[in-house]
Structure 1
Amino acid sequence: MLRSMYAGISGMKGFQTKLDVIGNNIANVNTAGFKKGRVTFQDMMSQMSSGAQGATDTRGGVNPAQIGLGSQMGSIDNIHTQGFRQTTNNPLDFSLEGDGMFVVASDLERTGATDFDPENIISNIDLDESNVSYTRAGNFYLDTNGNIVNSDGLYLMGYAEDGDGGINTNNNSVLKIPETAQSFSVQTNGTVNYIDADGNTQVAGQVALANFSNPAGLQKAGSNLYLNTENAGYTGLSEPETDGVASIVSGSLEMSNVDLASEFTEMITAQRGFQANTRIITTSDEILQELVNLKR
């Protein structure tokens, strides 16, 4: 059989994968915190017809003659560029300006008794033993106990207040707004303040952000969540606006970084590439048909 036919099949498979990724990008064009995917291709091993020859005293060198055997998928990358910011005026909608991710967790494990727990705050969390995920989607809510959670009920993690109005960065805690609070606000450095029943400003804690040297190495887990991997380069938790970590903008959401114009252009390219590979198969089939007809 002709090698061109198998090369055309490999090209069709690659462009099918590309269309799958483009379709997922377009489907999530309005998903908060979504990061688009991108497919890259590689050529496959080439068949050697004749090898290279070096130059001699009487003749120049000869380049190798190789016949390519098609293409293969090289990678599916997640592009973690900044999405545009949409203003919502909801104080529990957080967007990140810069690098970093929110930390959400469930099945919380505690390292021991809490030192400061005036409002039954879940603190001293052992993130290594808890079910931890990461997200850029900042649409959070308050549960019945006043804890800040996401739409799936996962707790937003941060640092606890130290009892003197400061922040204890050694105490991982669930952020909670007391039921007696009249109002609350979140500063750009992640500090959560609230007005108590007496009209005084109190500190509830501080939002903690996870930073990764290679966010493209994170594994998508669905529900706008990412899981840490060995290639993500997790560097630990940090306070917002420190160590190059993002600042938090309350009352807004970071939307998807999908550009519809770019996606439609890529879709046209993938469609034409798929059609061109089908033409290769059709042409190869016509040649084989002519060979079979030689028997007549």
Structure 2
Amino acid sequence: MGFQQGLSGLSAASKQLDVIGNNVANASTVGFKQSRAEFADMYATSFYGVASTAAGIGVNTAAVTQQHTQGNITPTARSLDMAINNNGFFIVKAGASTANSAGTIYATRNGQFQVDQQGYIVNTSGDRLQGWTASTGGVVTQGPVNDLQLQTALINPKVTSAVGMGVNLDSRMTPTAGTTLDPTKTNTFNWSNATTVYDSLGNPHNLTLYYQKAAPTTTGTDWVVNAYVDGNPATAPNTFTLNFNTNGALTTTAKFPVSFTPAPVNGSATPVSFTVDYTGSTQYGQNAGTTSLTNDGYAPGTLRAINIDKTGIIQATYTNSQTRTIGQVAIGNFTNPQGLQPSGNNHWVETYSSGPMQINAPGSGTAGLLQSAALEDSNVDLTTELVNMITAQRFYQANAQTVKTQDQVLQTLINLR
């Protein structure tokens, strides 16, 4: 009986050392979760149960369970590096470029992602990150998850159709209205400001607005605005008037039409027509200035940067200063994470024991929040593992001594005459 007990102890100690060795080997693996060996005693039973004097027949490795505790989060310099703070897993699917083209779904805590040649967000194994793709208007609808893809190609330009121009005109200025405007002579106007407008091909054009103050009346003050594009007067009418009451508030229609024909002709649609909206403009006794400026047109642009917020919303910034919502990262949760089946490459597979995957947006349900430009370290504590290794070594040595002692007892019995 002693041989059986000792051998089972040696086997259990060997298994424990295997688990500890695997933990130590993965101490630097991003998103790795340490395991522990769990043991149970063994008894030989009969129809009438276990005798009260039974010594037991050894130990059995009951399970090797993973510990899904939070690892330390380390900042990085890459916006596509992500860490989950609290519960949940990234959801990835084996892409068509991998050997598993059927699209097996995996769970992982490794947030090391990058963009492949097709613009998909993938991990080092080529598996595609899952989430919800935003509509052209930037709205994310949380239906079935799909492959997240960035628009890395050139985005089309948009012709300017509306300019928002909030200004404050200095009421202390001397009137110049009635003087023939000459943009090269500053004494023919009171103030000017400018912005860029775009034609249908995305070519930029400089819109400059010159302001001439009229003589104030008992009801208010008029300002004549002259629109020039690329140094030339806009297509007639190129002037319009802003009227401010005695409290400095704008009282006239705030929107004015402006149109021009690019010169020289560049192949874009002509004429280029848009409105200038002066809503919110004022006339107060302080220096003239632009208080707000919007423009719905833009030049073509390419992807410049990616930002992912804590709720998983992915925003792309382009070289034309446009920002677009690409989609949202999905998080998978399980009722029993310890029931997941490890499959290598920092992946887990759903099992009956783990329960079905529950998909949520970061920060909703039981899903944790995301931290962009950061990675979750392995939760292995090397100090603890090395102490456990010493304990397992002693465990192994003690069981080996049991076998040795039993051998000596048996040898004594054989030597009896």
Which position in structure 1 is the counterpart of 2:195?
A: none
Which position in structure 1 is the counterpart of 2:338?
A: 216
Corresponding residue SS for 1:182:
strand
Q: Are the structure 2 counterparts of residues 47 and 195 from structure 1 closer, same or farther at C-alpha, using a change threshold of 3 Å?
A: closer
Which position in structure 1 is the counterpart of 2:25?
A: 27
The structure whose Rg is larger is 2
- Give the percent of matched residue pairs that are identical in Structure 1 and Structure 2: 35
RMSD: 1.8
For residues 247 and 107 of structure 1, what CA distance do their matches in structure 2 show?
A: 26
Which position in structure 1 is the counterpart of 2:131?
A: 158
Which position in structure 2 is the counterpart of 1:83?
A: 71
Which position in structure 2 is the counterpart of 1:105?
A: 93
Are the aligned partners of 1:29 and 1:256 in contact in 2 as well (CA < 8 Å)? yes
Corresponding residue SS for 2:303:
coil
Alpha-carbon offset, residue 16 of structure 1: 0.3
Which position in structure 2 is the counterpart of 1:16?
A: 14
TM-score normalised according to structure 2 size: 0.60
CA deviations 1:222-280 (Å, max 9, x no partner) are 11111111111224211000002111101110010000111111111110011001111
Matched, 1:282 2:404: yes
TM-score normalised according to structure 1 size: 0.84
Which position in structure 1 is the counterpart of 2:140?
A: 167
Are the aligned partners of 2:312 and 2:329 in contact in 1 as well (CA < 8 Å)? yes
Match of 1:132 among 94, 105, 118: 105
CA deviations 1:82-126 (Å, max 9, x no partner) are 011111121111001011100111256xxxxxxxxxxxxxxxxxx
For residues 8 and 49 of structure 2, what CA distance do their matches in structure 1 show?
A: 25
Which position in structure 2 is the counterpart of 1:7?
A: 5
Q: Are the structure 2 counterparts of residues 160 and 76 from structure 1 closer, same or farther at C-alpha, using a change threshold of 3 Å?
A: same
Alpha-carbon offset, residue 5 of structure 1: 1.6
Which position in structure 2 is the counterpart of 1:64?
A: 52
For residues 38 and 358 of structure 2, what CA distance do their matches in structure 1 show?
A: 30
Are the aligned partners of 1:148 and 1:155 in contact in 2 as well (CA < 8 Å)? yes
Corresponding residue SS for 1:66:
coil
Match of 1:227 among 324, 335, 349: 349
Matches within 5 A, 1:42-53: 42-46=40-44
Alpha-carbon offset, residue 196 of structure 1: 3.0
Q: How many residue pairs are counted as aligned between the two chains?
A: 262
Gaps of 5+ in 1: 53-62, 109-128
For residues 86 and 63 of structure 2, what CA distance do their matches in structure 1 show?
A: 25
Corresponding residue SS for 1:170:
coil
Amino acid at match of 2:385: E
Alpha-carbon offset, residue 184 of structure 1: 1.4
For residues 106 and 31 of structure 1, what CA distance do their matches in structure 2 show?
A: 21
Matches within 5 A, 1:242-281: 242-281=364-403
CA deviations 1:114-161 (Å, max 9, x no partner) are xxxxxxxxxxxxxxx731111000000111122110001111011010
Alpha-carbon offset, residue 171 of structure 1: 4.3
Corresponding residue SS for 1:151:
coil
Which position in structure 2 is the counterpart of 1:123?
A: none
For residues 146 and 47 of structure 1, what CA distance do their matches in structure 2 show?
A: 62
Alpha-carbon offset, residue 46 of structure 1: 4.3
Are the aligned partners of 2:95 and 2:128 in contact in 1 as well (CA < 8 Å)? no
CA deviations 1:191-245 (Å, max 9, x no partner) are 0001134312210000001111111111111111111111112242110000021
Q: Which has the higher mean CA deviation after the structures are superposed, 272-281 or 189-198?
A: 189-198
1 or 2, which has the higher helix percentage?
1
Amino acid at match of 1:167: V
Amino acid at match of 2:376: E
Gaps of 5+ in 2: 97-101, 153-301
Alpha-carbon offset, residue 287 of structure 1: 0.8
Q: Are the structure 2 counterparts of residues 288 and 91 from structure 1 closer, same or farther at C-alpha, using a change threshold of 3 Å?
A: same
Are the aligned partners of 1:47 and 1:68 in contact in 2 as well (CA < 8 Å)? no
For residues 219 and 87 of structure 1, what CA distance do their matches in structure 2 show?
A: 29
Are the aligned partners of 1:240 and 1:247 in contact in 2 as well (CA < 8 Å)? yes
Alpha-carbon offset, residue 162 of structure 1: 2.5
